């Protein structure tokens, strides 16, 4: 299956799609450092992506004519999120960095069978309710484009009117879902909204994959059995205190009923096997260098080692919560190394990040966790394959029926 990746960044979503069976026709990214990261891994440490066609530049300036001639199965990407970020100016459509129009235009041009778009949870805030619904409608009907001098609100109203009656050749069934990456085996509490669309002419009934991991399963191993602490050989003084007998009884009942799945993965789980970082790079572990200067203060406490990490941020120092710092049981903190951060985003250890520590952390903070991307893309791939099988079966049934009429 063929795919195209927009706003690729360090390549987390693209790599997840590749691992799910898609083969990239183009990987588009404007930032030169991120492009260097992808190119470096495509030619050296990750041969799986050696044939990626990296296009450095603005997605709006790409000539899609040759790629449009191919049958593209998937368009994936994470449009820049500054217009909707909690830390941004929250200007939505009035922010020129809003890349949803550009993503929609690529979908209109390439007419993929499906698309996967990922963005910050802030897009679903009540302050953006109308614009969020407008975005979903625009993705559902990419051929109903905005007219010249038409405001987004006027376009939204027209989409609302035409949504139930339009006979556009290109329509998508769009399924938006807010997820926590920790519930899918990523050692990080990363809340994001996924907008997944299937072309309406396909027989594909899709829903977001079920969660596989849970906080309750982690609490069961930490508070009831102690298996987590024993596995990591954590001293008694460094362990979290057990919960109350009543809480442990509830956890045990949930475990016995098969309701809690697998335990959340923690920071300790993620960085297991890595040596304590020093200011010198290790030839054995790429990007594993200590970044000095971390300190803790009120509201800036880092990610506790025995829980999933806080959401990695694109800002170099992870303000305001110290998200890019590790906090030990004794309260001491240090910055995550680039390699540790890459593990929190489930990149393979042989995937090397290009640029300084702050630049690499920016790339990782903007990335989609590879494991989560693979989970979503894998489910989309399965449903596309099933749709193709159903279409083929239907075609054969029609052919047999026609043959019977001819020979009757």
Dihedrals phi, psi of 251, to nearest 5 degrees? -65, -40
**What DSSP character marks residue 339?**
H
Catalytic residue (choose from 34, 55, 81, 360): 81
User: Where do we find the tokens 């693979």?
Assistant: 374
Alpha carbons 239 and 226: distance in angstroms, whole number: 9
Dihedrals phi, psi of 123, to nearest 5 degrees? -60, -25
| Cα dihedral 25/30/32/34 (nearest 10) | -60
Task: Choose among 47, 5, 118: nearest CA to 351.
Answer: 47
User: Where do we find the tokens 């922010």?
Assistant: 95
Which residues 6+ apart lie within 8 Å of 44 measured at CB? 352
Tokens standing for residue 100:
């949803």
Task: Choose among 282, 293, 292: nearest CA to 352.
Answer: 282
User: For residues 56 and 30, is the Cβ–Cβ distance under 8 A?
Assistant: yes
Q: Does 35 participate in catalysis according to the annotation?
A: no
Residues serving a catalytic function are: 81
């Amino acid at each position: 299956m063929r795919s195209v990746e927009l706003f690729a960044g360090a390549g987390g979503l693209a790599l997840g799609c590749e691992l799910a069976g898609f083969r990239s026709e183009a990987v588009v990214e404007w930032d030169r450092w991120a492009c260097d990261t992808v190119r470096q891994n495509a030619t050296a440490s990750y041969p799986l992506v050696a044939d990626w066609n990296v296009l450095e530049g603005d997605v709006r300036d790409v000539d899609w004519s040759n790629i449009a001639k191919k049958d593209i199965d998937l368009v994936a990407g994470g449009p820049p999120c500054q217009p909707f970020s909690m830390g941004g100016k929250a200007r939505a459509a009035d922010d020129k960095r809003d890349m949803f129009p550009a993503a929609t235009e690529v979908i209109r041009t390439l007419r993929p069978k499906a698309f996967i778009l990922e963005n910050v949870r802030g897009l679903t805030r009540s302050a953006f309710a109308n614009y969020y619904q407008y975005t979903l409608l625009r993705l559902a009907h990419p051929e109903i484009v905005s007219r010249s001098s038409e405001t987004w609100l006027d376009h939204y109203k027209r989409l609302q009117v035409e949504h139930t009656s339009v006979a556009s050749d290109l329509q998508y069934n769009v399924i938006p879902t807010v997820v926590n990456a920790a519930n899918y085996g990523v050692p990080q509490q990363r809340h994001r909204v996924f907008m997944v669309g299937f072309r309406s002419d396909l027989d594909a009934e899709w829903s977001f994959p079920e969660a596989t991991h849970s906080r309750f399963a982690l609490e069961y191993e930490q508070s009831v059995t102690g298996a987590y602490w024993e596995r990591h050989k954590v001293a008694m003084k460094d362990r979290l205190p057990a919960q109350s007998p009543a809480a442990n009884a509830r956890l045990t009942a949930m475990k016995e009923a098969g309701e809690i799945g697998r335990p959340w993965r923690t920071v300790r789980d993620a960085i297991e096997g890595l040596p304590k970082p020093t200011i010198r790079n290790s030839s054995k572990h790429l990007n594993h260098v200590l970044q000095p200067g971390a300190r803790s203060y009120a509201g800036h406490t880092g990610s506790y080692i025995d829980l999933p990490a806080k959401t990695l941020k694109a800002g170099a120092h992870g303000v305001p919560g110290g998200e890019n710092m590790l906090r030990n049981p004794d309260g001491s903190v240090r910055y995550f190394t680039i390699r540790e951060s890459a593990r929190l985003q489930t990149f393979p250890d042989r995937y090397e990040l290009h640029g300084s520590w702050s630049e690499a952390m920016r790339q990782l903070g903007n990335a989609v966790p590879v494991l989560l991307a693979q989970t979503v893309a894998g489910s989309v791939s399965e449903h596309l394959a099933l749709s193709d099988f159903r279409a083929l079966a239907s075609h054969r049934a029609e052919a047999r029926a026609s043959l019977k009429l001819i020979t009757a």
